[in-house]
Amino acid sequence: MAEGPIRLTSARVASPIGPVTIVALGGRVCGIALSSEQKWLRGALKRRFGRFEIEDAPDSTGAADGLSAYFAGDLAAIDRIAVDAGGTPFQAGVWAELRRIPAGRTVSYGELADRLGCREAVRAVGAANGQNPIPIVIPCHRVIGSDGRLVGYGGGLPTKRWLLTHEGALLA
């Protein structure tokens, strides 16, 4: 007997950077999409789960409340959101290290690779950063180029700039 599709829940949050969609499985966030990333997230969920259905549901994970608090100025609120990003062991390691970067700080891709003990894998670290299915909560926006430039953000560089300014990492 074939198994049915994975059942995911979805909640939405209005934010200063546009609507944010939160997708969860079993009480943990497994995906977040900014308004420009809806198609990308659906593809990532399909690669991870195969068949799935998304149903709008109340914020059972608390992630919508946590993101709302973050956008209202409680920058630590996202640290309390439970996640299940999936991914390979390498990606999971990169994503765990991203969660250790405090709000208001940035690191370069090289620094991130150093923290992971794999300086020679800077490009792989960058690729894992770019495949992060839970932006903002897994704060890939806190990673910048080695020269201090803002580079590589799926939600767009204006959104990355807004997030870093909101966190006090950049001057307005």
State the catalytic residues.
Answer: 140
Helices and strands, counts by H and E, the chain: 6, 6
CA dihedral 13, 50, 61, 32 (to 10 degrees): -30
| CA 114 – CA 84 distance, rounded (Å) | 24
DSSP three-state, residue 32: strand
Looking at residue 77, the DSSP 8-state letter turns out to be: G
